[in-house]
Amino acid sequence: MNITVIGAGAWGTALAIALSEKHALTLWGRDAKQLEGAARSRINARALPGITLPAALNVEGDFAQALAGADLALIATTTSGLGEAARAVHARQAKLPIIWACKGFDRVTGKLPHETIGEMLGGEARFGVLSGPSFALEVAKGLPCALTLACNDNAFAQSLAAELNGGSLRVYSNADLVGVELGGALKNVMAIAAGICDGMQLGLNARAALVTRGLAEMMRLGVAMGGKAETFTGLTGLGDLVLTATGNLSRNRMVGLGLAEGRPLAAILASLGHVAEGVNSAETTFKLARKHGVEMPITEAVCAILFHGADARATVQRLLSREARAE
């Protein structure tokens, strides 16, 4: 299969490296100078310094040329860049299937990516999301990783998952597109909470409780929005939550650690140098919770700290003092 990866950041580069073990891969990004350097040195120094690009991986700076002969476009931009990238692909090749590897909500509309892309591409298009517990650096190094593919056409998801599966990547299909996308978005909010918890040195018991109750929040909202409860106990729910809430490569966890130190959010985000999708997703998640009548106290606490100047320690204390109830 000829696959074109749109987006030459860490995740796009890592996916291109991993998938090039089995498929013909072309990597395209917006920064022509960055791509020129990567093609010459075989290292994408800005995104994944120290990782050598396979000889078989084609790095292409011309967008039209990158899509020429493609059987699949895999968009690995941020969520905010997904719509623009999908429109550009569709304008060049209207029937080309598109999948994306970003997690979150549209910052303006609050919609999930599949809602935005569905409205844009129309009913005959084939599209979906590739999601799951995955740090780009580990994938680029060839370490094992399991992902889930959910599409608007489940037969297409099953056949494409079988095509993508192989090498260091284990790819499963899932018919629950809503649940898979919500799991990827909501776990980032919980990872910020876990970072706050760890930054305050509340202990492993507290982290375990937070992750467990965070998963319960995710599941409540997911089911209310049409997702399946069992999706949230799989790779794109529990799996991604555990990784992002506990792994030191997690940008969202790093945001929480910084907030626990009392650092301003702007300074934390500037020091990261990358997008932390949980910050963008938190407010939308809380609005959706209110819309659907779902109680999400952890999400509410994260929003209070992120956007309303609430003191992290006092906010955590209020969470701990909530009335006991049945699990």
pLDDT tens digits, residue range 280-290?
Answer: 999 999 999 99
327 assigned to some structural domain: no
Together in a domain, 163 and 193: no
Give the model's pLDDT for residue 206: 94
CB-neighbour burial class of residue 273 (10 A; exposed 0-12, middle 13-18, buried 19+): exposed
Tell me, yes or no, whether 287 lies in a domain: yes
Q: What is the pLDDT of residues 228-243, one digit of tens each?
A: 999 999 999 999 999 9
Residue 292 makes CB contacts below 8 A (sequence gap 6+) with: 221, 224, 225
Could you tell me whether strands 72-75 and 58-59 are parallel, antiparallel, or unpaired per DSSP bridges? unpaired
Q: Is 257 helix (H, G, I), strand (E, B) or coil?
A: helix
271 and 137 belong to one structural domain: no
Average pLDDT value over all residues in the chain: 95
- Structural domain tally of the chain? 2
Final residue in a domain of this structure, among 130, 155, 175: 175
| 193 neighbors 215 (Cβ within 8 angstroms) | no
* Angle between helix 177-199 and helix 204-224 axes, rounded to 10 deg: 150
In this structure, the answer to whether residues 165 and 105 fall within a common structural domain is yes
pTM given for the model: 0.95
Task: Check: CB of residue 151 under 8 Å from CB of residue 130.
Answer: no
The confidence score (pLDDT) of residue 221 equals 98
Q: Are residues 149 and 278 in the same domain?
A: no
**Judgement on whether residues 106 and 186 belong to the same structural domain of the protein:** no
Q: Given 22, 95, 103, 187, which residue is catalytic?
A: 187
Closest to 287 (Cα-Cα) out of 273, 271, 307, 269? 307
CATH (domain of 76):
3.40.50.720
Residue 326: inside a domain: no
187 is catalytic: yes
In this structure, are 311 and 273 located in the same domain?
yes
Chain mean position to CA 54 = 24
DSSP string across 16-31: HHHHTTTSEEEEE-S-
Q: Which domain holds residue 53?
A: 2-175
171 and 56 in a common domain: yes
